[in-house]
Structure 1
C-alpha cells in the first residue's frame, strides 16, 4: 500500500502537517509513504520510519515543477493521495483516494483544520523522533547540564521579540540554574539577528545556521524548555514533545499556536494578530515561564 503525501516547502507549515502523518500512521500502519516537500527540509522527513521515498519540490516558472512531479509519480498506483498544497496533481494520478486540502478561510487552529478536512480525529498530535545516532551526538554535546533553548529569530522581524529582551531573559535563566542553547535558521539575515545575543552570551551553545534538521531535532530534545518567536523551530520543538513557549504578536495565535502535549503560547499586548512584540515585557515572560516550569515539573534553582 503506497500513499503520496504532499506538504509545504516551509519548515513551520511542514511540521504542522505532522499531525496528518501521525493520522496516516495510525490508520494505515503498514503503508509506505512518498513525501513531497521543499528541498531544504528533506532531512526532516527522514526521521519517519514509514517514509519510503522523499521527492524534493523546487518551484519553477509557469508551475513547471508540478509537471515534473507528475512525471515522477504517474507510473505508481497509489492507494491514497494526501495533498496539503491544494494542487490538481491527484486528479491526474491513478489512486483510490483523493484527499486535497481546501483553501477555504478558517478560524480554527491550522492543524485542527487539516485533521478535520483529511478525516482524522482532532486529538491526534504531531510526533517526530530523532535518530538514535543523532541523540548520541547531542548527548556528548550537552553533557549533564540543563539547557534552555532560545530562538530569537522568525520569518519576519515584526514577529520577533527584541533581541535585547532575549539577552536579559538569558541572564535571568542563568541565575536559576540553566545554560543556554540558541537556535536559528540559515542565512545572513538570521546570523545578523542573533549576533548581539552571541556577543553577550559567548558561552551559549550555537545550534543554527542551516544544520541538519535531524540533528537540530535531537538537540532540541536535550533541552528542558524552548522559548521563541512564532517560527518553524517553535512548531518543531512542540512536535518533539519538549515544553514549548511560543511568543506571538502580529501572527494569530489561535491559528498558528504550537500544538503538542506540552505546548504553550504568550501573546503581546493588543488585539490578537496585531500585537507589538516590543510591548511584551520581560517581567511578563518571566512570570509566564515560572507557571510553565511548575506545570511541567521543571525544577529550578534559587535566583541569585
Structure 2
C-alpha cells in the first residue's frame, strides 16, 4: 500500500486489551516511521496511553458526552480527518461506524469471530479461544499491509510512567517501609477472584520473607482490602479508589506483583515490573501478561478454561481452578521472580 501519512488506531477499552494492543503502535511506527499516529481510547485510559513513546497524539473518546450516538461519532470523524489508514482493534458498532465515516484509503480491522461463531455467541455458546496470544491476534491485523518487522522487534506492551506518578507513589510507599510486593485483589468477573484466605496466607508468607505486601483493592469488584490487611497484620499499605496513573506509580514501587487475570497484571508487565498472574477460568495461552519477567500460574484442569473473559459463577459450582491453586505455590513463584527465593 502507499505509505500512509496519518494513521488512526482504535482500541477504546478495557485496560488489559488496550495494553495488549500497544505493540501495534510499535509495529506501525517501525513500518511507517514518518507517519503521524493517533490512538483513540476511552477517556479513562487516555493518560496511560499518552505515555507510549510511539504515539503523536491520543484522542479521548467520550461515549456518554460529546461522542454519544451517531451524531457524536459523525462529529468525531470530522475532527479526526484526514486519515489514510484506520486500524480498528475494537471492531464494534461505534468503531466500525467511525471508520466508515472517515473514508480512509485503507481500513484494517480485528476479526474476532467467523459467522458461525457469531451465531454461537448470540445463542450463549461462545467458543473458548486459546492460542494465539491476544498480542499476536492484534498484530495479525497488519499482516500483508506492513513491511516485515525488524529483527529486533519485541511484541510486548510497554509504557513509561509519568514522573509525578512515581513521586506520589514514593511518598505513599517510602523506601524505609519496603521492599514492597503488590497483591491485586480485584477482577471484574467473580470467577477470576482468588479466595480471601489464600491472599491472607500469601501476605503472611511474604511478610515472613521480608517483603511488605501492598493490598491493591477494588471495592466494587473484589475482596475488601481493609479487613484483609487487618487479618494479615503489620499495618499494611492499602491502595483503593485511585486513578490508573497512581496505580502505575504504586506498581513501579514494588519488586513483584501478584494479580488475577486482570488489567493491573498487564499494567505491571508493561511497566517492566515482575508479575505473577493467577489463571483459572480463562486461557493463559491467550491472556498471559507479556513482559521480561512474567509468570502465569494455572492448574490446567480439564474444565479450564471455561470462559473467554470470566463469568459470574463457576459452571461446576466449585471454582476448583483457583480454590486449589495453593498460596504456597504462588508465594514460591512470587519470591522467585522478585529474586527473593
TM-score normalised by structure 2 residue count: 0.77
User: 1:191 offset after TM fit, Å?
Assistant: 6.6
The match for 2:239 is 207
Q: Is the 8 A contact 2:6 2:36 kept in 1?
A: yes
The match for 1:81 is 86
Residue among 270, 278, 284 paired with 2:323: 278
Residue 240 (str. 1) matches residue 271 (str. 2): yes
- Deviation readout 1:183-240 (Å, 9 max, x if unpaired): 234xx4237533431332462222221x221221122111100101000111111111
SS at match of 1:150: strand
SS at match of 1:227: strand
Count of residue correspondences: 291
Structure 1 unmatched runs, 5+: none
Residue 104 (str. 1) matches residue 113 (str. 2): yes
Q: Is the 8 A contact 1:74 1:94 kept in 2?
A: no
Higher mean C-alpha displacement, 138-147 vs 120-129: 120-129
Computed over aligned residues only, the root mean square deviation of the Cα atoms, in angstroms, reads 2.5
1:35-184 aligned at under 5 Å gives the runs: 35-49=39-53, 50-58=55-63, 65=69, 67-74=71-78, 76-86=81-91, 87-88=95-96, 89-104=98-113, 107-119=131-143, 121=149, 123-144=154-175, 145-184=178-217
Higher mean C-alpha displacement, 162-171 vs 198-207: 198-207
- Deviation readout 1:256-277 (Å, 9 max, x if unpaired): 1111121210013512314521
User: 1:98 offset after TM fit, Å?
Assistant: 1.6
Q: In 1, distance between residues paired with 2:223 and 2:295?
A: 28
Q: In 1, distance between residues paired with 2:70 and 2:42?
A: 13
1:241-280 aligned at under 5 Å gives the runs: 241-268=272-299, 270-271=301-302, 272-274=304-306, 276-280=321-325
TM-score normalised by structure 1 residue count: 0.85
Question: Cα 1:198–1:32, aligned 2, differ >3 Å: closer, same or farther?
Answer: farther
SS at match of 1:273: coil
Q: Is the 8 A contact 1:163 1:196 kept in 2?
A: no
Q: In 2, distance between residues paired with 1:282 and 1:36?
A: 40
Q: Is the 8 A contact 1:22 1:127 kept in 2?
A: no
SS at match of 1:190: coil
The match for 2:123 is none
Question: Cα 1:110–1:249, aligned 2, differ >3 Å: closer, same or farther?
Answer: same
Q: Is the 8 A contact 2:293 2:337 kept in 1?
A: no
